[in-house]
Chain A
Amino acid sequence: MAYDKFTVLTSTAVPMPIENVDTDQIIPARFLKATKREGFDDNLFRDWRYNSDNTPKPDFVLNNPIYSGKILVGGRNFGSGSSREHAAWAIYDYGFRCVVSSFFADIFKGNSLNIGILPVQVSPEFLDKIFQAIEADPKSELEVSLPEQTITILSTGEKESFAINSYKKDNMINGYDDIDYLQAMKSEIKTFAEASLY
């Protein structure tokens, strides 16, 4: 099923220089009770974003009007823990289309790619440079080019390449997903299943 195509994204970014941001923080389990895929943005980072009486916590970055944009920049080991795709949905529903970190947890990375969020893994040094650029000027923009597989800090011109396999890259550029691919393989899968040991 097609999602938004991703080619080049130029945007300001929201900095979250915290390590090991786990999916329980991105969306706590008590907000996983929906049977439809809608409205998860309100509960993105719920317990970091709101007090228990639902008033916003002013020192949390999403509540700081200085920062905005379609790119979320997180610390090392972003998205660890639970496999809940709701974490990726919440990030997407909030308006982010790209998450940058120096290291991603596997399941989160896969979930993001499956719903049209581009996870961009950069070196720890480049991640620091991004944080510094945003700190110097919150309106500083990043340019993420999927065709070129590069991320650029526009204020300084510094650039780094990132990895993505060509299958997933083509999917994202064209808005295809894995189910489209697998539906075209049905007879091959059926033959394989008939020879299965289990």
Chain B
Amino acid sequence: MSTPKSLFDKVWDAHVVRKIEDGPDVLFIDRHFIHEVTSPVAFLGLETRGIGVSFPERTFATADHNTPTINQHLPVADPLSANQLKALETNSAKYGISHWGLGHVKNGIVHVVGPENGITQPGMTIVCGDSHTSTHGAFGAIAFGIGTSEVEMVLSSQCIMQPKPKKMRVNVNGKLGEAVMPKDVTLYIIAQLSAAGATGYFVEYAGDVFRNMSMEGRMTVCNMSIEMGARGGMIAPDATTFAYLNGKELAPKGEAWDKAVAYWKTLPTEEGATFDLEYTFDAADIEPQITYGTNPGLGTGISQNIPLANQVKDGEASYKKSLGYMGFAENEQIVGKPIDYVFLGSCTNGRIEDFRAFASIVKGRKKADNVTAWLVPGSHVVESQIKEEGILDILNEAGFELRQPGCSACLAMNDDKIPAGKYAVSTSNRNFEGRQGPGARTLLASPLVAAAAAVTGVVTDPRELI
């Protein structure tokens, strides 16, 4: 009998073009996403070398990182951003790459539009010059972020050179409690493992919590894998995956669909497959989470106090620097802290389920006067769904407005910057110093926790509002 194989091994091994002794594997890449910020220098590199794009039909371009989220019909005011958007358009046209630029009906955040158009499929290898490419692992694909030199590598050869990472499995079993969302599950795992706890590993998420999760929820979880250092995370494809993909524009059709599903069903990890490291958590231990520090590992259950320095894995000096930046102190209660901004959106939580959850709390309530709220859908498709489902009416009624799709305040490359010193409860993925604007203070949380803060003006346990 052959050795039982993991999902990760099956997909990786099926893509190795060549193994280099005491070196990386040459890995074939099925799908490559590019955006305006990390691709221009890669295209410049191709020109300098006098080489072209080998497989342009395998690369997809979308503009998202620096795009404005209001008045998208007007010319982009910032000349540097406009220049990057123009470069993406020109380079895509020159090499025959599909381009969903600003204003295109399919435009949106790269990790939202890939799955919703059926580009992302189980068993694929997928890369993009963006660390949250790990999102696509929700479909049982090996998906990870790369640097610009590697973008040039993939454009020119459709391959990448990577040493095979170690394997980790994270199991979460049991039933999730009230108001506990996929974002809480991932923030909980990261807090347990720390921001570097999975560095060097590729993670598979297993157990009934993930089996019972929607594709949107699985994407949120896989998206955040990089925040504990993992190159990527993945979840075995199942009936939920197939139901999501069936009928999507770029998914296989007819006989090809049947053949693909038959193959995808062979991918899940076999009984007895081994992992270099394995963790198991109980769903009952997870409450709604919130971060209080300046890396995503510094988070806790919302009812808890900020830990003492000796209770966290970070060194004392780094921990105190982190709390100092946030204006917090050890052992303080987090609930009740006043906040200034709420950001709902990003490749982590900019999908339709996130807006449904947010609306479920704000329905019949009013936005707190002290809060500025930016609600940014992940794509035009999500934006349309928000309108069709009547969610926009609920939001407007409660005093909220909807902006246009893009990465927005997640990384604050456009004008959506949280001012210095202000507190933002954010559904995005990083609470690093200055991430959401110079001096901005970020508390990462789920859409439900964000909604509870938006209507009360302070950090609030959403279970009190359900």
Contacts and interface: CB of A to CB of B under 8 A. Distances in A.
Interface of A: 1, 17-20, 22, 24-25, 28-30, 32-37, 47, 52, 75-77, 80-86, 88, 103-107, 110-111, 114-115, 165-168, 177-179, 181-183, 185-186, 188-189, 192-193, 196-198
B430 A167 contact: no
24 contacts: A24-B433, A25-B434, A29-B411, A30-B413, A33-B37, A33-B83, A33-B413, A34-B41, A37-B148, A47-B433, A80-B196, A81-B131, A83-B131, A84-B38, A85-B148, A107-B147, A166-B21, A168-B23, A178-B150, A179-B45, A182-B157, A185-B17, A189-B17, A198-B124
B231 A196 contact: no
A166 B411 contact: no
Contacts of A111: 147-150
A198 B49 contact: no
A110 B131 contact: no
Q: Which of A103, A111, A182: most chain B CB closer than 10 A?
A: A182
B159 interface: yes
Contacts, number: 206
B108 interface: no
Contacts of B294: 20
Nearest to A1: B49
B81, B148, B263, B294 pick with most chain A CB within 10 angstroms: B148
A52 B440 CA distance: 13
Contact of A185 (B24, B78, B159, B430): B159
Interface of B: 17-18, 20-24, 26, 28, 30-31, 37-38, 40-41, 44-45, 48-49, 51, 54-55, 65-66, 78, 80-81, 83-84, 87, 121, 123-124, 129-131, 145-150, 152-153, 156-159, 161-163, 165, 195-196, 199-200, 226, 229, 231, 260, 263, 294-295, 314-315, 317-318, 321, 411-413, 420, 430, 432-435, 438-439
Give the residue among B121, B123, B161, B321 with the most A Cβ atoms within 10 A: B161
B434 A183 contact: no
A114 B147 contact: yes
A2 to B, nearest CB: 11
B159 A19 contact: no
B23 A75 contact: no
Contact of A35 (B44, B78, B161): B44
Contact of B147 (A18, A88, A181): A88
B157 A186 contact: yes
Contact of B430 (A1, A24, A188): A24
A40 to B, nearest CB: 11
